[in-house]
Each structure stands twice: as structure tokens, then as C-alpha cells.
Amino acid sequence: MSHSILDTMPGASTGTVVVTDHLNFWGGKRVKPRQETNAEPVFEPATGRVLCQMVPCGAEEVDEAIKSAHAAQLKWSKMAGMERARVMLEAARIIRERREKIAKLEVINNGKSITEALVDIDIAWQCIEYYAGLAGTLAGQHVQLPGGSFAYTRREPLGVCVGIGAWNYPFQIASWKSAPALACGNAMVFKPSPMTPVTAVILAEIYKEAGMPDGLFCVVQGGAETGTLLCHHPMVAKVSFTGSVPTGKKVMEMSSKGVKQVTLELGGKSPLIIFKDCELENAVKGALMANFLTQGQVCCNGTRVFVQREIMPKFLEEVVKRTKVIPVGDPLLDGTRMGALISKPHLEKVLGFVSQAKKEGAKVLCGGEPFVPSDPKLKGGYFMSPCVLDNCRDDMTCVKEEIFGPVMSVMPFETEEEVIKRANNTTFGLASGVFTRDISRAHRVAENLEAGTCFINNYNISPVEVPFGGYKMSGFGRENGQVTIEYYSQLKTVVVEMGDVESLF
């Protein structure tokens, strides 16, 4: 079962793991790729070493996976919500039991610190547990009509849903997408990012072990071409995508050809507004959480930090002091707080944003440089020092574009009215945050910010009970919370006539 690679995890350390298991999964088992000619190397970010080979699925394989999901969905959808819930709770229990092993494998493939990865795995099982609790509550309405006639509604599954994941939260995103889909009686074919193909298949094995029908949750590996095959496939009812805006537009366009439902969770350039009456210690901690989790590779990060002018010097002094001492290094060590970025090209891109910011007049207060840890095995890893930029203006590249790395841009503001206008002056709208002790201002600012989430006196906490998703070009549809049930089901109205038909003919 899902013990193969996981069993080697307790003794594993950075730079020692090689993954040779097949990474595709359908029909209840791992599936060997048809042909291995176009394999792509997958790297361990902390060392730059090749971890495994990712072989993209072609049209025949995608078709096979979707047909396997379709057959399983017919069985699964006939089960009562409570029966589905029992299987999902068992899956959550197994994940909980193996959390340390799964987290370790996630770190080796993704580069984030083990401390964070453990939280990600916990959020994954909590999400599955939460939707297991909702599975038995799915119900319709009864509406009384004249003369004793009536109508009722049925909440029905969509069928086979496709999930397309990102590389920053590989296991967690697979759970966030599959849990509500499965609770509603759907099947899911999941395509992880080609850079992090290793842990989604562990989830597939756990779902099977928990008692789901073979094929209910399938994993197909690949990049853009495989994604295109999934979006165009006639047996797919819905596509849920997490990733960049340009790719999101393509997913939407391709899915529109078959009039498929779409959920898009795209990028962000979220504002974090810090008023002078805030609790400064909390605001500083909030700004660090808003910028440096997962090496800054988080779509809802509050990367535009607006600080009221009076407290700007004190804020910068504190933030810089703390940023300088963030322990960067081996992500499997408990003391590490920042691991490696996902890839060499991505590291170069982020460092390029810092150089560009300097050219445009920003001042680097700390970090923003390649970092070479003292441990020789990490010499080839993709590390950089976390960076704070001062002297930023709203028209700078580093303030307008999503950097997706550990770079915080700080700007002063004078008034509430002015900062709301500046905060909303972006095509994105994923998240936002405000730090203030003034309760009226907090809620007023939250109301006026154009974003799917607003954090008041905190940042980047994502309980599975609350919806998460974007406004504007950050996407639409929601993940987590009760409302997501509506995005993975459809409503049928049944009208029952108890009398004679009144005909006009």
C-alpha cells in the first residue's frame, strides 16, 4: 500500500532520498508510464540533486484514468452521505497516523521547512475530516405548490472533476480539492505540478486503503500538455485549478469549449495595512507571517506592506531585526524556519526582481541575495536570504507584480482613505490584512478592500471551516468552508403534480 517510500522516511535525511516508484495512480494502483522517452527530472530544492523522473501522461493514459474515475464515481455516488463520510474519516485518520512521514517526503520534494510541512499535513486531514462531517448533511428543499402539488430539489454530484495543483502546497492542495469533491459524490483526477509529483500519489493510496472504490481518486503526472488533455476531455464535468493568472485564463478558455464548471485560485499581490494605533509587536509578527511562509511562495501573501508614516521607522527597525535572524538552511532540521525555493530558474527570477527593484530606486534593508548554507551537501540548493525593501513606490515592478519569493515591499501612507485606494489599485484580489486597535476602522477597512479574504490583526491563517478564494483576477469559486459544496454539486428541481394537467391545447 502507501508504505513503499513512506517506510524509508524515518531514517531519511536531506540529500539521501531517491524516488523510483511509479507516480501515476488509477484503477486502484500505481501505474507504470507507457513510454519513458520524454521524462523530466524532478529536483530536491535543498540540494539541487535529482530526486526522481516525472513522465508526463499522454492522451491514452489520461483517457484511461478518467474512465477509471467515471466507473468508480457511479458506485460512490450511490452511497449515502454517511457511508462516504465513514470512508473519508478513515482516510483522515491514516494521514494523521503518518503525518511525520508524509511531511518529510513533502519537504524533500518541495523545500519548505519541516515545521511548516507538518502544519500543511494537519490542515490536509482536517479538511478531509471537515467535509466528511458535511457529507451526511447534503440535502434539498421541499416547496409546497397550489392544490397539494409540490416540488423538491436534489443536490447531485457533477461526475468526474479534475484538480490541477500547484507546487507550493502539494499534499494540502490535493486534499483541499478532493475532500469537497468526494464528499459530494464526485470522483477526482488530480494532476500535481510537474515539479512536485511525489506526494499526491500517497494521498491516492491512502484513499484506497480507507475503502474508496478503485479509481475514485486518480493521479496523472504531466505539465501543460497533460493539463490540456484533462481540460478538453468530454467526460470531465469540472476543473479546479490553482496556479498563475496566465495559465488560469488558458484553463478557463479550454474548459469553456465543453462548458465545464471552473474554480480558479490564482495569484495575488495582497495589501497589508498597518495603522499607527496597532499593537506593533503583533503587526511585525503579522508582516513576517504574511511574507516569509514557504520561502514567500504563497499566493495570498501580503507582499505590499503599507505602514502609517508615524510608525514607519520603528516598524522597519523591528522587521529588519527579525528578518536578519530567520534561520535559513536544511529544511528537515527542526530549527530551520526557511528552506529552499522550488527551482533554480525560480530562484533566479526572484533575485531578478530584487535587482530590478534596486534599479527602480528601492533600498534593500536586508537580504535579497543567494544564500549558501555551511553544510556542504546544501551547496547546490536554491536558497536566498529573506529580503525587506524600503523606499518603494506604487508604480515599481516589485510592488505591482507577484514575486512569489521572500521579498517584502514596505511603503508609507498618511490616511485611511488614501491607503484603501492604493491597496485596491491592483488587478489582483486574493487577500488583504489590517492591523489596528480601532474596531470601527478594522471593519470599515475590511468592507472596502477588494479581496476574497481580509485578515484583521493577523495574517495567513487558513482554517478549513472558512471559504478561501479571490476577487478580480485572483480567480473565482471557493475552497474550504460550507459554500464549496455548491461548487462541487448541481441542483435538480423535481416538480410533482398531484392533480390534473391544465392544458392550453
Looking at residue 386, what DSSP letter applies? -
Quickly list H helices, 342-405.
Answer: 344-359, 397-400
449-455: Cβ within 8 A, 24+ apart: 449/271, 449/420, 449/423, 449/424, 450/424, 451/270, 451/271, 452/478, 453/300, 455/286, 455/302, 455/431
Fill in the amino acid letter for 193.
Answer: S
Name the strand (E) or helix (H) holding 220: none
Q: What residues are annotated to the active site?
A: 265
Distance CA 348, CA 378 (A): 17
Decide: residue 453, CB within 10 A, 0-12 exposed, 13-18 middle, 19+ buried. buried
Characterize the bridge pairing of strands 160-164 and 236-242: parallel
Paired with 42 in beta bridges are 52
As a whole number of Å, the end-to-end CA separation of the chain is: 65
Paired with 40 in beta bridges are 54
Decide: residue 447, CB within 10 A, 0-12 exposed, 13-18 middle, 19+ buried. exposed
Cβ–Cβ contacts within 10 Å for residue 294, how many?
A: 23
Name the strand (E) or helix (H) holding 98: none
Distance CA 488, CA 477 (A): 10
Distance CA 292, CA 337 (A): 9
User: Which residue is associated with the grid cell 525587506?
Assistant: 388
User: Which residue is associated with the grid cell 476577487?
Assistant: 471
